[in-house]
């Protein structure tokens, strides 16, 4: 059921991703301009990720008429998955699936407006109607009431929550001209707090260099528990990422969260060697008219912060090649910070060349008692 576009103060809030999940939403990939060579390499990685998440929680796998049979074949024998046919324009579930909020007993979705990361101003493809309709359709099929927030442009990757009233975003994204230019910063903050149960918004200045989402927060900084974050970092002052991460560090050191706590910051270094598009990568794409295109040598927004919590694990991006040492370093850092979970290294290069990473292709549903229709 679609609910009022302005929720009352009814106790619903966005839990932290590290809190227990009931399920995860993933969209099986197929877009030729994002996933090269018929999407086959990406589909193998997505299938591996789905199987790993299904060890800990239910996975909703969203497919189209074109991917349904392939997904069912690749995932045959995997328990704890539920396949739903819901059309989409691409596979970034973080940004187009609902954002889920809870009052501790019930879960509801929030259906933001999606405009392909900037609409006609600087969006990444020309048509996004199916993506924009996906959140509402998922809630309908899975039995979740849904707040209608279609008046407000937002992607799930542009927000983080600590589950205790603190929301975290980047100014570069939420104040971009392609999102909600008619609103002031204060009005944007008020809207976030209304829908997500926030008490305070932390506005990081920047994200990851060359992040085509206008620098989503989920690629540069993430809560690992209330009052504690990991921040993408580099010690190389000549790297274009350095001033961005430095600005975020300075900001985080100057603020407190909604509970009045100073933020404990852990640096999580980016890959030592930039991850770039190769000629082989480029040869596999088929771009549509109006779609953002890639170039050989283009630096991708590779970051280890784009990990995903499951109920028992941290799925951590790995980039391979010249970054073997960087990959291993990230694993050791996350092991020390999240000792209660298994750290699962995931070869994520096939995801990053699509434009995002593990966090970008997943969306969590909090674990509470809910009413769900029979599927």
Q: What is the pLDDT of residues 118-134, one digit of tens each?
A: 999 999 999 999 999 99
- Residue 293 has, within 13 A of its CA and on its CB side, a CA count of 11
- Integer Cα distance of 119 and 301 in angstroms: 21
Helix (H) or strand (E) holding 173: helix 171-174
- Integer Cα distance of 203 and 217 in angstroms: 9
> pLDDT by residue (tens digit) across 306-329?
999 999 999 999 999 999 999 999
Q: What is the domain class of 2-366 according to CATH?
A: alpha beta
- Integer Cα distance of 14 and 258 in angstroms: 14
Which DSSP string do the residues of 112-139 spell out, in sequence order? EE--TTTHHHH-SSS--HHHHHHHHHHH
pLDDT for the residue 373? 46
Domain layout of the chain by residue ranges: 2-366
The answer to whether 20 and 311 have CB atoms below 8 angstroms apart is: yes
Question: Is the Cα torsion angle 217, 172, 117, 200 positive or negative in sign?
Answer: positive
| Long-range CB contacts (within 8 A, 24+) of 68-76 | 70/28, 70/43, 71/28, 71/43, 71/47, 74/43, 74/44, 74/47, 75/47, 75/50, 75/51
Q: CA angle, 22 as apex, 17 and 23 as ends, to 5°?
A: 80
The answer to whether 169 and 217 have CB atoms below 8 angstroms apart is: yes
pLDDT for the residue 372? 47
Question: Is the Cα torsion angle 285, 85, 360, 197 positive or negative in sign?
Answer: positive
Query: What predicted TM-score, i.e. pTM, was given to this entire model?
Result: 0.95
pLDDT for the residue 10? 80
Residue among 148, 156, 211 at smallest CA distance from 1: 148
- Integer Cα distance of 90 and 361 in angstroms: 10
User: Is 193 among the catalytic positions?
Assistant: no
Phi and psi at residue 11, in whole multiples of 5°? 90, 5
Positions of the chain with pLDDT lower than 50, given as ranges:
370-375
- Integer Cα distance of 348 and 350 in angstroms: 5
pLDDT for the residue 8? 62
- Integer Cα distance of 192 and 179 in angstroms: 14
| Helix, strand, coil percent values for the chain (each to nearest 5) | 30, 25, 45
Residue among 47, 18, 356, 77 at smallest CA distance from 219: 356
Tokens matching residue 353: 């060349």
pLDDT for the residue 1? 73
pLDDT for the residue 369? 54
């Amino acid at each position: 059921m679609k609910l009022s576009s302005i929720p009352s103060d009814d106790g619903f809030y966005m839990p932290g991703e590290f809190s227990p999940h009931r399920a995860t939403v993933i969209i099986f990939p197929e877009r030729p301009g994002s996933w090269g060579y018929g999407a086959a390499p990406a589909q193998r990685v997505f299938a591996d990720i789905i199987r790993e998440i299904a060890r800990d929680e239910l996975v909703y796998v969203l497919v189209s008429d074109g991917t349904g049979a392939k997904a069912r074949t690749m995932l045959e024998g995997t328990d704890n998955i539920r396949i739903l046919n819901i059309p989409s324009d691409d596979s970034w579930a973080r940004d187009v699936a609902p954002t889920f909020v809870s009052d501790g007993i019930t879960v509801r979705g929030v259906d933001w407006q999606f405009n392909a990361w900037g609409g006609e101003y600087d969006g990444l493809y020309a048509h996004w109607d199916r993506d924009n309709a996906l959140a509402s359709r998922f809630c309908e099929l899975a039995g979740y009431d849904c707040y209608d927030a279609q008046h407000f442009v937002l992607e799930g990757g542009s927000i983080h929550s600590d589950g205790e009233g603190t929301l975290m975003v980047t100014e570069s994204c939420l104040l971009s001209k392609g999102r909600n230019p008619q609103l002031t910063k204060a009005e944007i903050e008020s809207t976030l707090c209304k829908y997500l149960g926030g008490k305070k918004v932390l506005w990081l200045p920047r994200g990851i260099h060359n992040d085509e989402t206008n620098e989503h927060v989920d690629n540069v900084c993430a809560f690992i528990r209330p009052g504690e974050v990991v921040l993408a970092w580099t010690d190389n002052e000549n790297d274009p990422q350095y001033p961005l991460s430095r600005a975020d560090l300075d900001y985080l050191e100057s603020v407190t969260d909604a509970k009045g706590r100073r933020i404990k910051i852990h640096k999580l270094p980016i890959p030592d060697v930039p991850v770039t598009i190769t000629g082989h990568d480029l040869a596999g794409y088929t771009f549509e008219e109006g779609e953002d295109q890639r170039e050989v040598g283009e630096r991708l927004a590779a970051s280890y912060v784009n990990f995903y919590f499951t109920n028992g694990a941290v799925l951590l991006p790995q980039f391979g090649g010249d970054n073997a040492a960087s990959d291993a370093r990230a694993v050791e850092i996350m092991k020390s910070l999240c000792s209660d979970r298994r750290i699962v290294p995931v070869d994520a290069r096939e995801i990053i060349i699509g434009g995002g990473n593990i966090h970008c292709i997943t969306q969590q549903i909090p674990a509470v008692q809910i009413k769900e229709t029979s599927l």
